Amino acid sequence: MKSLSYKEGFLHRFVGFSESFPEQVAIRHLDADDDTLTYRELRIKAEASNGALTALGVLPGDKVALVLPNGVAFIAYYLAIIGRGAIPVILNCKLTPFEMNSVVSLARPALVVTTQALWVQHSEVFQPDNGVRHALVLDGGSEPSSPLPANATATSQLPRQLEPLLLPEGNPIVSVQFTYRGIGRPLAVSHRYLDLTQSSDGLHEHFHLQGVGSVHLVTLPLYAIFGLSVMMVFPLSVGATLLMTNTLLNRDLAEVLSEHQVTFACLVPDVIRYFNTRLAKRKGARLPLHPQLMIYSGGSHLPADEAEKLGTLLGCNPVLQGYGLTESMPVLVQSSIGPVHRGAMGQPINGVELRVVDAQGQDVAPGRIGELLIRGSMVIDGYNDAEDTNARFFRDGWFHSGDLVWRDDDGHVFFFCQRLRISKIKAQMVDLVEIESIALKHPDVVRARAYIVPDHKEVNVLHLCVEGTGELTQNALSTLLARDLSGFKLPKTIEIIPLKEEAHAR
């Protein structure tokens, strides 16, 4: 059992802020008409969501899947599920039905909370065969456009009642999410209440002090651990305001940061490159930003020149980096209150130990490249129901990340490359084996190999090479891949190599 130094977690703190600072703005949603929600109002929303769960018979220990976009509903239901003693299963709402089936069949949630559009898209997946007894369909207070089947209920059909949030005792599971490790299938990861709180607190030790009055720009998807911990758990733990938008790319970043005096923002590298291009064409004087604005990059590696460019264009400090995995939560971060180490991912937060080892498992000297090993209370003990995979990645108390890194003399960690057959495309995890397995479904494909080649801007580009027989075409392969896989997993180029002899296919 891991030793824990915390007795109260983030839900305790959120409830405390709702009582001591009830009128403090918790959420300001730039895309919604009713654009603000105070801490008191957010707690009421969570209690109303808990009332809906009560009406549907959700019990402590039940798994409840959240299949929702970023927004108030996601946050309210997440808090409600924890405040009920149930277990949130957090799923990417942008998955295809094929991908959704692969994770739901593993998680087997008793209830799914989703929107009407997503229910229609995935209704065949959200069924008893996958353990789903019922679906709660959020309808915004209006009647569904078509009648729902017996195993689905619209929120408008439920009695409106508030159910108080019960504060967790001990260190229960408060998140089940999925990741990939280059074995062609998703792996379930469970995070616990106090560990998630400790991870966000560890980050804060490296940041300018945040609290009531701070404004955090929420741009990362909350279904990912980086978004969940840094963009939701952290600000709600300190009484900050979540400034939410799903349309940032259609907005002027400088205006958003200036108008709302944002103190903390986290962007993925592709978004930083996008705004570097737009801001370079922006005319007029620089807008006044918060003097302690911190901008961080997460999701994948950001080249140092891109980090410095955004700071120069905005007139603020360079973008700093952090590092984490679904298995570990954020564990490395550059300090905003100390000297910047150009290009570094940072140093370990409080409670994290790391090693950099060679192929024989021996620690390497500073400046030498090796695999990053991590341990700490926020690192999981293993994947759910995956003994063979656990034996590969969890050894002697250390998690083997698969990332090759090096450290400088001050202990800052720098990314070199990923040695597993996984990569990030648009900050989303891509398992190359999964892509190959889909291509091999085509009857004329004999062998398939997916690979990554960075372009001239160090952006990862996915390519696929297949050997095939008969009249195999790129169009046929593209159609097959697009049917099952999300857009970011589709290769930019497909190369087909015809087999010269049918004997090769045997």
Tokens 């559009």 identify what position? 117
Q: What is the pLDDT of residues 187-212, one digit of tens each?
A: 999 999 999 999 999 999 999 999 99
The arithmetic mean of pLDDT across residues 79-96, rounded, is 97
Pairing between β-strand 460-468 and β-strand 493-498 as defined by DSSP bridges: parallel
Any domain includes 242: no
My answer on whether 304 and 439 are in the same domain is: no
My answer on whether 326 and 471 are in the same domain is: no
* Domain end among 370, 390, 418: 418
In which domain, by residue range, is 172 found? 10-192
Tokens 């290009």 identify what position? 343
Q: Which domain CATH number covers 56?
A: 3.40.50.980
Q: Assess contact for 134 and 153: CB atoms under 8 A.
A: yes
My answer on whether 182 and 312 are in the same domain is: no
Any domain includes 119: yes
Cβ-based burial of 285 (10 A; exposed 0-12, middle 13-18, buried ≥19): exposed
My answer on whether 408 and 448 are in the same domain is: no
What's the rounded Cα separation, in Å, for the pair 342 and 448? 39
Question: For residue 37, what is the enclosing H or E element?
Answer: strand 36-38
Any domain includes 489: yes
Sign of the CA dihedral 327, 234, 45, 36?
negative
My answer on whether 46 and 174 are in the same domain is: yes
My answer on whether 391 and 332 are in the same domain is: yes
My answer on whether 385 and 445 are in the same domain is: no
pTM to 2 decimals? 0.94
* Domain end among 192, 212, 236: 192
pLDDT over 90, % of the chain: 88
Torsion of CA 139, 142, 146, 149, to 10 degrees: 60
What's the rounded Cα separation, in Å, for the pair 180 and 326? 9
Any domain includes 229: no
Res. 143 pLDDT band, cuts 50 70 90: low
- Does the structure show a pLDDT above 60 at 367? yes
Any domain includes 221: no
Name which of 118, 159, 160, 109 is nearest 137 in CA terms. Answer: 118
- Does the structure show a pLDDT above 60 at 347? yes
pLDDT over 70, % of the chain: 96
Two tokens at 350? 């409080």
Q: Which domain CATH number covers 376?
A: 3.40.50.12780
Q: What is the pLDDT of residues 154-171, one digit of tens each?
A: 999 999 899 999 999 999
My answer on whether 187 and 60 are in the same domain is: yes
* 376 bridge partner residues: 352
My answer on whether 265 and 314 are in the same domain is: yes
* 365 bridge partner residues: none
My answer on whether 182 and 259 are in the same domain is: no
- Does the structure show a pLDDT above 80 at 478? yes
Res. 179 pLDDT band, cuts 50 70 90: very high
The predicted structure's pLDDT at residue 190: 98
Pairing between β-strand 63-67 and β-strand 111-115 as defined by DSSP bridges: parallel
Please enumerate, as own/partner, the contacts of 442-451 that have beta carbons within 8 Å and a separation of 24 or more.
Answer: 442/468, 442/472, 442/476, 442/477, 442/480, 443/470, 444/468, 444/469, 444/470, 444/471, 444/472, 445/472, 445/477, 446/499, 446/504, 446/505, 450/491
The predicted structure's pLDDT at residue 144: 59
What residues contact residue 169 under an 8 Å CB cut-off, 6+ apart? none
Strand arrangement, sheet containing 493-498: 445-454, 460-468, 493-498
What's the rounded Cα separation, in Å, for the pair 34 and 29? 8
My answer on whether 471 and 410 are in the same domain is: no
Look at the chain and report how many structural domains it folds into. 3
Pairing between β-strand 187-192 and β-strand 173-179 as defined by DSSP bridges: antiparallel
* Domain end among 389, 418, 447: 418
What's the rounded Cα separation, in Å, for the pair 346 and 344? 5
- Does the structure show a pLDDT above 50 at 458? yes
SS (H, E, C) 53-118: HHHCCCCCCCEEEEECCCCHHHHHHHHHHHCCCCEEEECCCCCCHHHHHHHHHHHCCCEEEEEHHH
What's the rounded Cα separation, in Å, for the pair 126 and 113? 10
Any domain includes 211: no
Name which of 100, 8, 108, 111 is nearest 50 in CA terms. Answer: 111
Q: Assess contact for 297 and 326: CB atoms under 8 A.
A: no
My answer on whether 432 and 383 are in the same domain is: no
Q: Assess contact for 336 and 358: CB atoms under 8 A.
A: no
Any domain includes 380: yes
Q: Which domain CATH number covers 455?
A: 3.30.300.30
Any domain includes 295: yes
